[in-house]
Amino acid sequence: MPGKNLTRDEAASRASILRVDSYDVRLDLTTGPENFHTVTTVTFSCSEAGADSFIDLIADSVEKVTLNGVDLDPAEVFADSRIALSGLAAENELTVDATGRYTNTGEGLHRFVDPVDNEVYLYTQFEVPDSRRMYAVFEQPDLKASFRFTVTAPAHWKVISNSPTPAPQAAGVADGVERATWSFEPTKRISSYITALIAGPYDEVRDEVQTRKGVVPLGVFCRRSLTQYLDADNIFDCTKKGFAFFEEEFDQPYPFEKYDQIFTPEYNMGAMENAGAVTFVEVYVFRSKVSEAKIERRALTILHELAHMWFGNLVTMKWWDDLWLNESFAEWASTTCQAEATEWTSAWTTFGTSEKAWAYTQDQLSSTHPIAADMRHLEDVEVNFDGITYAKGASVLKQLVAYVGREPFVAALREYFRKHAWGNTTLADLLGELEKASGRELTEWSKLWLETAGVNTLRPVFEVDADGRYSSFAITQTATEEYPTLRPHRIGVGRYAVRRSGSGDASDVLERIGYDEVDISGERTDLTELVGQEQPDLLLLNDDDLAYGKIRLDERSLATALSLPRGFADSLPRSLVLGATWDMTRDGEMPARDFVRFVLESLPGETDSTLLRVLIGQVSTAARLYTAPEHRAEVSALLSSSLRSLAESAESGSDAQFQLVEAWAASTSDPADEPRLRALLTGAESLPELTVDTELRWTFIKALAALGAADEVEIATELDRDPTATGKERAAEALAARPTAEAKADAWAKAVERNDLSNQMVEAVSAGFRRSADLSLLEPYVEKYHAMLVDAWAQRSVAIGERVVGGFYPFSLASAQLKDASDAWLAANTDAAPGLVRTVAENRDTIARALVAQERDRRG
Ligand SMILES: [Zn+2]
């Protein structure tokens, strides 16, 4: 029984006989809060007379199925999310009349009610296989077609889809609601996963952009209650820079008629590249102060989705095997655009600091996989929107650009778009163009980098003569037992010297005195370039961050780095050295307490917002999970007191001040902080130029709740001040963060035992649940957690299942008992759903690594 799954083989055989011409989808969104009415008429041809096939649909019921004028019995043909079609003619017309269901999980057609004004907002999210939740569809990317949507909805709504929004026609009154019908023009031939419908009383801001094909209208939309915070000018500005850059880079006009960007409630990911109707998560409408890192990230997301209009939407992967290429390309293209065409010129540093760290972490979990993953069926695809598909893929693609050269790369891209516009491709099509343009053979490169998993570790090994010069120098490369592949790398080797300032250690700096770019491969590469050079104070492998690999510092370099935490003027080498110590800590080669101290000494004066964000995350993890239990209280006290004093001494009103205050409030478990938190909340105390706005108030309330100092009444009072959807999530998180057995049990009951919370609420409740300085509160959940998994997963959609299984794991325990319980569950449940097994295995790996790090920390 396929259930909701679809295999690659089934898709391939369906595509081999069918060609879909068009869909005519008629939707009535005025039939109540649970269901909608959907009628799909598909015209398609079949090359094999009399053949059988099927169309996909997830619906509460199917009222009528008509194939080529003959009515089929829905009870006979509709099962397992499919409608069986038999005896197909050369040309076919199929009509399916069904009742669809709105979701609150961010999959399919999501329905949200704004608590501020009770207005209803809908949006779709279809990737990977969820357009079938709105209409009957041959759900696979290579069966492209033209889509025509006709939508009946309340007359005061905006209705947005892939084609420009037409003028609505009055459609009478039903249940006291005035209705209208929007008849969209048919789209060009696109894949179903990038079709979209967004409907509700969204507010709208309009602009336009001059493109190669003339003026293209631009729209930005959000819920009415968020409009006051919408900085549309900034969004349009970034979007226009992207249009100009990509049209030039790809030598191909923007493929669609208009470009709308809609901020949507309870959204699962960052954004989705629906053709001409991109949806974004609402946290990108900044209702309170956010970090510079988040502003930069939003710009990158805007450019990422825009890049997909060409790579992904105009030219589309044949099957999900090339999902990584789709995503990695968009990451590469958007980062390149951001660095070269916007004010964020150090976008690649941000990429190295943030995205690559994500890739390295993911690549060291037992669930890691080759970049080019084998996507046998949809269940394989759904778990692969991960750090390998996005971040490692993009890191490796960046290397590929360096390997073939930027100019040949762009030439190949242009040819690729010209040749495959509106079609479907595989990786081989792109590699073929790259080989032609560059003259380089790429089979071996592709094999080593795309078809194998794992990250290599690179170390300098050398001898120094009596004069302090290298008498030998090599770089060694190792791999893990599970993923033994050694790879070719092009890497920079930087040499730095301490320059004494004369006015004391604090202003001593590290100056780069030499740099070599070298190719290495295999277990050991001797580098004659370095022989005879004076041993520097600090030798940095992977300087300039060209390579994808973990690096180690030699003893002297590590000592220099630790003694001069603010020695680098540039944030990239600082980030690389900090990254190396992070890897050493995670690999049990450096005590977590040393790492915590090093980071705390590196933070003062840090202005790179992303580096600051990443370091705060790492230092919190090190204190919470990697420190030996006997030192944890002391380290956690050091962490929160340091963050507080760093916040107090940070530049007035700066990004650092803001991030440090947030981090302090998020990390503290010190009851002595209660009066300070409260004073900041009430305004009795303040930090210079720090505005305690809506979100920061919640940050303080959550901290007070976690300390047991904010009760239900105070949380409810705060919710009265901010009675928004986000306010509700914050309140739920605060309630779950209270340090009592009842609060934890209540959180568990709401999100684990019941299954009616929306995706965002599950996330909020689980975040509060996990937050617990008193570990004894979480101990009972080791058993409860493993006992609920199979049933909880079976009852939930993928998006909610992942949030429950990932979010309610009692990570903070970080104990052998927790790891053993997960190991036992994994051993006993080898046949459980792949997505479930994978999430549990990743949780378990996190604890296994923590135990290794704790052991090292214990030895000091
Ligand atoms: Zn993407």
CB 252 within 8 A of CB 234: no
Q: What is the pLDDT of residue 515?
A: 97
The whole-number pLDDT of residue 157 equals 98
Instruction: Give residue 306 CA to ligand 1 midpoint distance, Å.
Output: 9
Of 664, 667, 668, 685, nearest in space to 676 by CA: 685
Distance, in Å, from the CA atom of 305 to the CA atom of 115, rounded to the nearest integer, reads: 29
- Gap from CA of 662 to ligand 1 centroid (Å): 29
| CA nearest neighbour of 448 among 493, 412, 382, 403 | 403
Q: Could you give the CA distance from residue 658 to residue 656 in angstroms, rounded to a whole number?
A: 5
Is the CB of residue 662 less than 8 Å from the CB of residue 254?
no
Q: 147: number of CA atoms within 13 Å, CB side?
A: 29
Helix or strand (DSSP H, E) at 331: helix 323-341
Using CA atoms, how far residue 608 sits from 288, 319, 573, 604, 670, in Å, is: 20, 39, 12, 11, 28
Q: What is the pLDDT of residue 383?
A: 85
Residue 1 has what pLDDT? 55
pLDDT at residue number 556 = 98
Residue 355 Cα, ligand 1 centroid: separation in angstroms?
14
- pLDDT under 70: residue ranges of the chain: 1-2, 502-506
Residues 210-234 have pLDDT tens digits of 999 999 999 999 999 999 999 999 9
Amino acid at 550: K
**How many Å lie between the centroid of ligand 1 and the Cα of residue 145?**
21
Active-site residue flag, 305: yes
Alpha-carbon torsion (217, 221, 224, 227), positive or negative: negative
Q: Are 551 and 576 in contact (CB under 8 A)?
A: yes
> What is the CA(773)–ligand 1 centre distance, in A?
37
pLDDT at 506: 60
Q: 331 C-alpha to center of ligand 1: Å?
A: 7
d(Cα 639, Cα 668) in Å, to the nearest integer? Answer: 8
Separation of CA 330 and ligand 1 centre (Å): 6
Task: Kindly give the distance from the C-alpha atom of residue 451 to the centroid of ligand 1, in angstroms, as a whole number.
Answer: 21
* CA–centroid distance, residue 592 to ligand 1 (Å): 35
Report the DSSP beta bridge partners of residue 68.
none
pLDDT value at residue 491 = 93
Residue 112 parent element (H or E): strand 108-113
Determine the angle formed by the axes of helices 323-341 and 393-404, rounding to 10 degrees.
Answer: 70
| Cα 307 to middle of ligand 1, angstroms | 9
Residue 173 CA to ligand 1 center (angstroms) comes to 40
**What mean pLDDT is reported for the chain?**
96
477-508 pLDDT, tens digit each: 999 999 999 999 999 999 999 998 766 556 78
pLDDT of residue 177: 92
For ligand 1, the distance from its centroid to the CA atom of residue 390, given in whole angstroms, is: 8
Q: Which helix (H) or strand (E) holds 495?
A: strand 489-499
Residues 762-801 have pLDDT tens digits of 999 999 999 999 999 999 999 999 999 999 999 999 899 9
**Choice among 305, 382, 695, 763 that is catalytic:** 305
Q: Say how many Å lie between the CA of residue 205 and the centre of ligand 1.
A: 24
pLDDT computed for residue 504 by the predictor: 55
Beta strand 177-183 with 169-174 is antiparallel
Q: For residue 401, give every residue at least 6 positions away whose Cβ sits within 8 Å of its Cβ, in sequence order, or none.
A: 332, 409
Report how far residue 819's alpha carbon sits from residue 782's, in angstroms, rounded to the nearest whole number: 10
Q: Please give the Cα distance from 141 to 321 (Å, whole number).
A: 11
Predicted pLDDT of residue 505: 55
**Contact (CB, 8 A) for 200 and 120:** yes
Structure confidence at residue 503 (pLDDT) = 62
Residues 346-404 pLDDT 10s: 999 999 999 999 999 999 999 999 999 889 999 889 888 899 999 999 999 998 998 89
d(CA 578, ligand 1 centre) in Å: 29
CA of 37 to the centre of ligand 1 (A): 30
In the reported structure, the alpha carbon of residue 333 is separated from the centroid of ligand 1 by a whole-number distance in angstroms of 11
Residue 520 parent element (H or E): strand 509-520
* Centre of ligand 1 from the C-alpha of residue 273, in Å: 7
Structural contact between residues 578 and 608, judged by C-beta atoms closer than 8 angstroms: no
d(CA 195, CA 368): 31
